Amino acid sequence: ALIFLNSGNGSVTALPIALFVAGGILGAVFIVMELRADDPLYDLTLFCNRSFSGAAVAVFLLSAATLGLLFFLTLYLQNALGFSPLKTGVALIPMTIVVLGLSPVAGRAVPIVGARALVSCGMLCGAVGVAVLHFVSPESTQSDWYVLIPGFVLVGVALALGNPAIVAVATGTVPHERSGLASGMNSVVRQIGTAFGIALIGTVVTFSYMHGVHALASPRAQKLQHAGMLAGSTLAKPEWVAAFRDGLLFAVLLLALGAIVAFGTIRKSDRLAEKRGR
């Protein structure tokens, strides 16, 4: 539904609404079937545990905001700044290095610091990092890309602190024999979050871009609207960058919401490992 919504000219039509309704109905049917099944594929009763549910919401929002945003960061680097695909990959290396280096440390810190603190702090770092990226400008050139490095690093910190702690919560709040199921469910939510993130941020960017283009002179506005949002990153750079900044703000809100949810729902007392050790 969001894909069809993004393929339009910024206005809402009947088709996306119908798809949203159909998706809601099918989702409800799936939930009922899983709850009634003797051997469900996706054991929804695990969500009765508040920490497990909180970790699922946190990983959904973390993936939606960070991994979903990577798609548009790539567009910005390649189309707005003119980077080659190889140079775009090199520019994102600082984020990768932080994730690879800090993730093992964060995993070992879960029993000491606590998952709630790591997830909440990680998502707050991500929110600050994405807010730093908000300072991109239509006047920026390839030589200005270094101002994005602090944002990349902080987003890497968010992924490195959040993911190991979330997995620890997901697998530590269920019996040992069901830890594989819990880990699989957590991975599914992560992938769904990434897909929804691209679609949701894309919707924000598309509507903002179409609104900005609509304010231009009529002949050029019609041409840019017909070309679409993706082509706008090169054809209408000021309007596209302004829309991209709106998408960044939306990602900041997702990460801030995730930090609040994680802090309010993840509890150390729900972890079975701690209970067995008492």
DSSP notation for 195-250: HHHHHHHHHHHHHHHHHHHHTS-HHHHHHHHHH-HHHHHHHSHHHHHHHHHHHHHH
Residue with the larger pLDDT of the pair 42 and 51: 51
The phi and psi torsions of 140 (rounded to 5 degrees) equal: -65, 145
Range of lowest pLDDT (43-47, 86-90, 104-108, 258-262): 43-47
**On the CB side of 107, how many CA atoms lie within 13 Å of its CA?**
9
| pLDDT at position 34 over 50 | yes
Given a contact cutoff of 8 angstroms between Cβ atoms, the answer to whether 119 and 268 are in contact is no
Q: What is the pLDDT of residues 230-270, one digit of tens each?
A: 555 556 778 888 889 999 999 999 999 999 999 999 887 66
Q: What is the mean pLDDT of residues 105-119?
A: 92
Distance CA 190, CA 188 (A): 5
Residue 278, pLDDT above cutoff 50: no
Cβ-based neighbour number of residue 98 at 10 Å: 20
- Cα torsion angle, 276, 261, 53, 247, sign: negative
**How confident is the model over 187-234, as pLDDT tens digits?**
999 999 998 898 889 888 888 877 777 666 555 555 555 555 555 555
Tell me, what's the pLDDT at 227? 52
How many angstroms separate the CA atoms of 159 and 135, rounded?
21
Residue 67 binned pLDDT confidence (cut-offs 50, 70, 90): confident
Whether the pLDDT of residue 99 is over 90: the answer is yes
Residue 232 has what pLDDT? Answer: 52
In this structure, of 34-43, 96-105, 126-135, 226-235, the range with the lowest mean pLDDT score is 226-235
Q: Which two tokens stand for residue 139?
A: 């006047």
Q: What is the mean pLDDT of the chain?
A: 82
Residue ranges of the alpha helices (H) in the chain? 2-6, 14-36, 50-62, 68-75, 85-91, 93-113, 115-133, 149-172, 179-214, 218-227, 229-235, 237-265, 272-277
pLDDT at position 23 over 70: yes
Nearest partner of 109 among 63, 163, 154, 59, judged by Cα: 163
> Whose CA is closest to 64, among 277, 256, 255?
255
- What is the reported pLDDT for 235? 60
Q: How many angstroms separate the CA atoms of 268 and 261, rounded?
A: 15
114: phi > 0 → left, psi -120 to 50 → alpha, else beta; which?
left
At residue 119 the predicted structure's pLDDT band, cuts being 50, 70 and 90, is very high
Listed in sequence order, the residues at least 6 apart from 251 whose beta carbon sits closer than 8 Å to its beta carbon are 64, 65, 66, 68, 69, 130, 197, 201
- Given this model, what pLDDT does residue 86 score? 93
Q: Other C-beta atoms within 10 Å of 132: how many?
A: 19
Between 277 and 115, the more confident residue is 115
User: Mean pLDDT throughout 114-120?
Assistant: 93
